A and B are shown apart, each in its own frame.
Chain A
Amino acid sequence: MGYEVQIEDLRSSAQAARDALDVVEDTKAPDDLRGIAAAIPGASAASLVETVATGWEADVRSWVRGARRYAEGLESAATQYETDDAAARAAFTPAGPNQPR
């Protein structure tokens, strides 16, 4: 045993990811940008605004999915290490070069 702290760190990281995705998911940037389209009737930029805003919405959804998958991966690993002592020992010693940044 002795890996509790590491496992708890995993869960904290996963929670941070979930916190972030909740905030990013709610971003109003696409709608903020859409606000200018009606102010410049006839402008080519007006139609491009919708394209960019739609693109951002897709980007945000994609980012949220990525962050969620990341959080789920950490949570899954934490759960495994809690029940599998050997796996936990293999995962946390020694410190390796491939560490999440």
Chain B
Amino acid sequence: MSLTWGQVKQWRAAPFTTAEEALTTSRRTLTDRADDLRTMAGPARWTGSAASTASTRLRRVTDDLEILVAEVSAARRAVIEAGDAVTGVEHAVDAAVEYASAHGLTISADGTVSDEAGLQMCYATEHDEQVARQERQVLVDECVARVEQALRKANDVDVDLVAVLTSVRDGTIADGSDLSLDEAARDGDAAGHLSLLGPPSGGTPADNTGWWESLSPEEQQRVLDEHPDWVGNLDGIPMGVRDEANRTRLEETATELRDRQQDIEDELAAMDPDPYDPEYLALLAEAQTIREQLGAIGTLEETLDKPDTHLLVFDLTPGQRPQAAVSIGDVDTADHVGVFTPGLTSTVEGMGGYVNDMADLRDATLDQLARNGDFDSTVATVVWLDYQAPQWGSTFSGDSVALSGAAEDGGASLADFYRGINSSRATDPDLTALGHSYGSTTTGYGLQHEGTGVDRAVFFGSPGLGTSDVDDLDIPSGSAYYAEAKWDGVGDLGRFGIDPSAMDGINHLETGDATVDGQDYAGVSGHSSYLEQHSTSQYNMATVVSGHPQDAVEGNNTGITDDPRAWDWWPSWLGG
């Protein structure tokens, strides 16, 4: 029988603590009887039928006491761990109730979440109302996820506790074969362990957040110690937790791969090089894969040595290029977060430059905040490369630069990453999506998913956003920005939707030389210079990430290779 929200809301961990202490005392009292049992044995030289009867009786009494000690020990262990788990249930219930209260939602006794507050204002456009409605729905869904995960945890505790208590009831904890009461206590203790609840299979970021919140601090630490792979890449888990888990995984994987690399080198050295030997070729292929993976690891190790860097994704899934995400600044607490998705030819091994760019953008964003009199707000930027960015060598497979498959798949992952940032925090940050080149296509696809919580988006050097209609992006009207430099051929491709230079409803950012408040910013040209330090394009991105896009320098740097509809002199009556 499943538990109800009304029941689980009444669960309390404190009585478990009381019971644990009492059972500890009771168990000690029983195990202390070991001396009595030794004295109870009659004289060694006593023989005959009376002695034999006494011996049989003493054996039974001893065995029965051992069984009782084992059972009490098992129950005590179960009570300790169930109490810990119920602490997690209490925490999850409190989190769900607080979340509902903070967002004007109500949770009924059967766990149903309803949006009593609803939309509180009128919106200028149908698009904005739809975005706002979806945001409300996201709040409801996140609250539902928290309720469901609290109930999932409570049911899991119940099932585990029932399993131990059933063993006690059925007398299967011990059979009296232990050699002492202490041994019986140890065996019983081992039989009383409860399982550690893993994350929900195929859960949404909100489900994952709800699961994490349903764990007690001790259980969370156990996850980090014993199962860092559960949480390292799991959207919805606080980024600080992911960083800790991923650093562990990085270190362990690096050791494993370096050991394996040495083994392969030894094996190859002992073989005759034979290009027709499948075993030889397999080793060469494995060595190449490991070289690539260690290259990625080397870059990450170097990156993580820099201050305030965090490893939010670390993925060496076989059969694909390494994937990773690194933040500069604390995404869990930052007031403003910018998530940058690089594109064509990006690799983890080569992402160090992007990390530096994002560190610079973070500083530039802080400058913008200060310029607006805000010296308190904090900023975090992220390089997100948790997708298969196309490489020049790609064939026309799903991750070819000519095809949208990698961008669509990456977009779905990216949408979950955005959602995870919001669901794992008590309050959503001001969130800006940044996408360059094929990464802008990925970002465009990502923002076509509902409920990402992204407030603004900056695309630059884009071959298309995966749509020709800016309203397909699930962000507020007027929140999409586009920057294109002169001589950026990729930005003129219009391969995945219209060239954004010619897109209606998108704000255009200057990329040429500019002066703002007496400060000169350098123009950029070509496809790969948008993030250069002290460039106009970097300045503009910083204004958007800081939440002050009104300070951006507008400009549409169109050239002869752009879609004609982007030209200033293109007659409006021709459309575009």
Residues of A within 8 A of B (CB): 6, 9-10, 12-13, 16-17, 19-20, 23-24, 27-29, 31-33, 35-36, 38-45, 48-49, 51-52, 55-56, 59-60, 62-63, 66-67, 69-70, 73-74, 76-77, 80, 90-96, 98-101
Contact = CB atoms under 8 A, between A and B. Distances in A.
B77 interface: no
Contact of B48 (A13, A40, A91): A91
Nearest to B35: A16
A20 B10 contact: no
Interface in B34-59: 36-37, 39-48, 50-55, 57-59
B51 A98 contact: yes
B3 A43 contact: yes
Contact of A92 (B16, B47, B52, B157): B47
**Chain B interface category by residue count:** 35 or more
A101 B58 contact: yes
A48 B79 CA distance: 13
28 contacts: A6-B43, A13-B42, A23-B32, A23-B36, A29-B72, A32-B26, A33-B79, A43-B158, A45-B158, A48-B161, A48-B165, A51-B165, A55-B169, A59-B71, A63-B61, A66-B61, A70-B54, A74-B42, A91-B50, A92-B43, A92-B45, A92-B46, A98-B47, A98-B55, A99-B47, A100-B54, A100-B55, A101-B62
Contact of A32 (B4, B19, B82): B19
Contact of B39 (A16, A56, A62): A16
B64 to A, nearest CB: 5
Given A16-B36, A24-B30, 9 more contacts: A12-B39, A36-B82, A36-B83, A38-B15, A51-B169, A56-B71, A90-B48, A91-B47, A98-B51
The 8 closest A-B pairs by CB, nearest first: A42-B7, A96-B47, A32-B22, A16-B39, A45-B161, A20-B36, A39-B15, A29-B26
Given A24-B30, A33-B79, A39 B11 contact: yes
Q: Is the interface of B mostly helix, strand, loop or mixed?
A: helix
Contact of A59 (B10, B53, B64, B154): B64
B544 interface: no
A86 to B, nearest CB: 12
Contacts of B64: 59, 62-63, 66
A101 B41 contact: yes
Contacts of B161: 40, 43, 45, 48
Nearest to A45: B161
Contacts of B158: 40, 43-45
B75 A33 contact: yes
Given A10-B43, A27-B29, A92-B45, A39 B60 contact: no
B55 A41 contact: no
B4 A42 contact: yes
B46 A35 contact: no
Contact of A35 (B8, B18, B29, B67): B18
Nearest to B56: A100
B36 A44 contact: no
Contacts of B157: 40, 43, 45
B13 interface: yes
Interface of B: 1, 3-4, 7-8, 10-16, 18-19, 22-23, 25-27, 29-30, 32-33, 36-37, 39-48, 50-55, 57-62, 64-65, 67-68, 71-72, 75, 79, 82-83, 86, 154, 157-158, 161-162, 165-166, 168-169
A56 to B, nearest CB: 7
B22 A28 contact: yes
A41 B7 contact: yes
A80 B49 CA distance: 13
B57 A69 contact: yes
Nearest to B68: A59
Contact of B166 (A19, A38, A48): A48
A4 B429 CA distance: 87
A56 B53 CA distance: 26
Contacts of A95: 44-45, 47
B47 A13 contact: no
Contacts of B67: 59
B54 A42 contact: no
Contacts of B13: 39
Contacts of A24: 30, 33, 65, 68
A29 B23 contact: yes
Given A29-B72, A51-B169, A41 B26 contact: no
B79 to A, nearest CB: 6
Contacts of B162: 44-45, 48
Most chain B CB within a 10 A radius of its CB, from A28, A51, A96, A99: A99
A44 B18 CA distance: 20
A6 B190 CA distance: 41
A55 B52 CA distance: 30
B55 A99 contact: yes
Most chain B CB within a 10 A radius of its CB, from A23, A29, A67: A29
Contacts of B165: 45, 48-49, 51-52
Contact of A13 (B18, B22, B39, B68): B39
Contacts of B72: 29, 56
A36 B46 contact: no
A13 B42 CA distance: 6
